Chain A
């Protein structure tokens, strides 16, 4: 070992840290609209441009793609019905590759280059938290379709959302475990690098202890971890009745498979981060597992059934997940607010969004409260061979 090696070691560690933030080239959005050059001001006056930033590639790619599908559908419907006050809506979607740093770049580009009047995005709370301060500073209203961390809308009056928030979602998981499944001893395994996961973990713990349960083990992992056996072994030693895993679907698939390999057969319970068709990769490892979500496609309400039917027609029979439904709702709520707003300036539009009351969405009735969060019911879905099935509805 000499000086060169030591310097190289230091370099490499530093390089690795830097690289985790900048590994990829930008490859733009996937919608045809994103590839067109920025609109000239003359063209902009005949149409309304809205921006969507999403993870169309990367680890949580299905989140971004589903949401974008839902939004696209809402835009097409609105344009067919005559747009807003005679103006057509144009959607520009940019890919942030599932990275917070990239998110700041694409949000700035949407605002500066595309001159969007409003933003939709993101699914993951960490990435919404990266985009929200920019939207707030530039005075562009932003509606997050499915970021559940409370901090997202706390950024300012330009930021709102159409999904419930984590204190409620944590309560839903806890109530379902304690009252529906009658379980007493819980363990948790969460991603400490994601605002969504660590926030939900805290909220769940509080709610579950309040309901008389006991948390026997609390374990964490980080982005990019793929081996959970050490944590699961520690959890197994405490003999819990179930494990609360408030992570994203990629991790959950691996956690479930590794847990079953270790002989841990207790149910796993999670949140809306599980919602993806990719759960099928878990095979039977996720049987007898549950997650809280925003809606169930088995819901018999006419709004839901009509949405599912239209979505399947448009996207080759794919069943819409909760993220597609929330994307659809977020876009429609935005159009509704645009129709009511006195002008499309950031302030007026944000005011109209924040005054929304009893908007009939696919994911339930949406009324935006003083903190710009809606109050809604949640459903709990059971995973049966990788397919989510309706299990229960939990009210606030």
Chain B
């Protein structure tokens, strides 16, 4: 029972991270109809920026006590702001000139952006080619223990922040004018521009929001895995991004709620597979689910249930 609850809890925590990254994939797909390959690198950038910003603020050294919570929040906001800006530049420089080009061109450009980010990231003037230690922004250890299950402070912070961001996104999309514009553009770009919507601005905005969510996921990743972050060109970031992408597809790509559901589903399947079946096939569980979904419900679990796309 303890093992079941602990696995459930860990699966949900990691699922929340996948969901945050998946939201970026799904939002960009919904509005631009292409897969942003560079998204997992923005996530890695988020991890490394939170390390950099924490060091710059002088907090998070391993031998110091954890700083006050608002310093952590400051690191989060700084990371999101910086990555949002990077996302804005990427969209403006790499994708906007290709708005009318065939989809394949954009796809290949995205691969180029991905490699560019990875390789700039591991240069000495950027983050360097060696793994670095994550900043310590929260006291380690368990917040409380239920039925021998360790509920860690960091995990509670991860789930809490992720849920808050998802709620904010939900509000943005369904309760604001900008959100209506985003939905309109995803329905039909040309008609939306006939209605007086500045399509380019909406696309830019969607891109920045998706990027900021990935940056937040990067920050939370650092909070959860307080050990070491590998250099930006390590294959682990691609693998994490891939799993989040699978989450977006499983949930129904282009569908915001589907991305959240898919993220949680993938996290739980991964953790229960490892804990109860065999730890040999960790990544295989995730991709097996992708194959099953593509075979039997290629539009994804929530692909058709809600028509709105962002």
Residue numbers of A with Cβ under 8 A of B are 1, 4-6, 8-9, 11-13, 15-16, 19-21, 23-25, 57-59, 61, 97, 192, 219-227, 229-231, 233-234, 236-237, 250, 253-254, 257-258, 260-263, 278, 281-283
Given A234-B279, A250-B228: 9 more A-B contacts, CB < 8 Å: A8-B34, A24-B119, A57-B129, A58-B129, A58-B231, A59-B231, A230-B10, A260-B140, A281-B227
Output the nearest chain B residue to A190 by Cβ-Cβ distance. Answer: B279
Query: Is there an interface contact between A234 and B274, defined as CB atoms closer than 8 Å?
Result: yes
Flag if A59 contacts B230 (CB, 8 Å): yes
- Nearest CB on B from A348, distance (A): 39
The one of B142, B228, B303 in contact with A254, judged by C-beta atoms closer than 8 angstroms, is: B228
Given A4-B33, A231-B274, residue A59 in contact with residue B119 (CB < 8 A): no
Chain A contacts for B225, CB-based, 8 A: 226-227, 254, 258
| Distance from B31 Cβ to chain A, minimum over Cβ atoms (Å) | 14
A–B pairs, 15, beta carbons within 8 Å: A1-B249, A1-B303, A9-B245, A16-B241, A57-B130, A59-B230, A59-B231, A224-B234, A225-B236, A226-B236, A227-B14, A229-B10, A236-B6, A258-B227, A260-B140
- Closest approach, in angstroms, between the C-beta of A245 and any C-beta of chain B? 13
Identify the interface centre among B150, B225, B274, B300: most chain A CB within 10 Å of its CB: B274
Q: Which residue of B lies closest to A21 (CB)?
A: B235
Chain A residue numbers with a CB within 8 Å of B228 are: 250, 253-254, 278, 281
The reply to whether B239 and A253 form a contact with Cβ atoms under 8 Å apart is no
Contact B6 A25 (CB under 8 A): no
> Do B275 and A262 have beta carbons less than 8 Å apart?
no
Q: Check if B298 sits within 8 Å of A220, measured CB to CB.
A: no
- B19 interface hit (Cβ, 8 Å): no
B106 to chain A, nearest CB (A): 11
Task: Find the B residue at minimum CB distance from A27.
Answer: B129
Interface residues in chain B, defined as those with a beta carbon under 8 Å from any beta carbon in chain A: 2-3, 6-7, 10-11, 14, 29, 33-35, 37, 62-63, 103, 107, 111, 114-115, 118-119, 122, 129-131, 133, 140-142, 150, 152, 225-228, 230-231, 233-236, 238-239, 241-242, 245-246, 249, 252-254, 270-272, 274-276, 279-280, 282-283, 287, 290, 294, 298-300, 303
- In angstroms, Cα B121 to Cα A24, docked, is 11
Chain A residues near B152 (CB, 8 Å)?
261
B3 near A222 with CB under 8 A, answer no
Say yes or no: A233-B3 contact (C-beta < 8 A), given A12-B245, A57-B122, A61-B129.
Answer: yes
In the complex, what residue of chain B is closest to A99 when comparing beta carbons? B235
- Cβ–Cβ contact A257 & B6, under 8 A: no
Grouping DSSP codes into helix (H, G, I), strand (E, B) and loop, the B interface class, with mixed when no group exceeds half, is helix
| B294/A219 in contact, CB under 8 A | no
Contact A221–B231 (Cβ < 8 Å)? no
Closest to B237 in A: A224
A263 and B151 CA atoms in complex are apart in Å by: 11
Q: Are A257 and B35 in contact (CB under 8 A)?
A: no
B115 — which chain A residues lie within 8 A by C-beta? Answer: 23
Report if A13-B231 is in contact (Cβ < 8 Å); known contacts: A23-B115, A230-B279, A236-B3: no
Q: Would you give the shortest CB distance from A239 to chain B, in whole angstroms?
A: 11
Contact B287 A261 (CB under 8 A): no
In the complex, residue of chain B having the shortest beta-carbon distance to the beta carbon of A20: B235
Compute how far the CA of A260 lies from the CA of B141 in the bound complex, rounded to whole angstroms.
8
Q: Taking the nearest CB of chain B, how far is it from the CB of A229, in angstroms?
A: 5
Determine if B119 and A25 form an interchain contact, defined as CB atoms under 8 angstroms apart.
Answer: yes
B residues in contact with A15, CB < 8 Å: 37, 111
Q: Are B118 and A24 in contact (CB under 8 A)?
A: yes
**Bound CA–CA A258/B231 (angstroms):** 21
- Establish whether residues B2 and A237, one from each chain, have CB atoms under 8 Å apart when the complex forms: yes
User: How far, in Å, is A21 (CB) from chain B's closest CB?
Assistant: 8
Inter-subunit contact A220/B150 (CB<8 Å): no
Chain A: CB-nearest residue to B6? A233
In the bound complex, CA of A223 to CA of B230 (Å)? 11
* A281 in contact with B62 given A12-B35, A13-B287, A19-B235 (CB within 8 Å): yes
Q: Are B141 and A261 touching (Cβ within 8 A)?
A: yes
Complex interface: chain A residues within 8 A of B242 (CB): 12-13, 16
Known: A221-B279, A227-B225, A281-B228. A59 touches B140 (CB 8 A): no
- A57, A61, A223, A227: which has the most chain B beta carbons within 10 Å? A227
Q: Could you tell me the distance between the alpha carbons of A278 and B34 in the complex, rounded to whole angstroms?
A: 41
Contacts of B282 in A (CB 8 A): 221-222, 225
Q: Given A9-B245, A223-B235, A254-B228 in contact, is the A231-B279 Cβ separation under 8 Å?
A: yes
Residues of A within 8 A of B235 (CB): 19-21, 23, 223-224
* A261 to B294 CA separation, bound complex (whole angstroms): 38
Known interface pairs A237-B2, A257-B226, A261-B152; A24-B233 also in contact (CB < 8 Å): yes
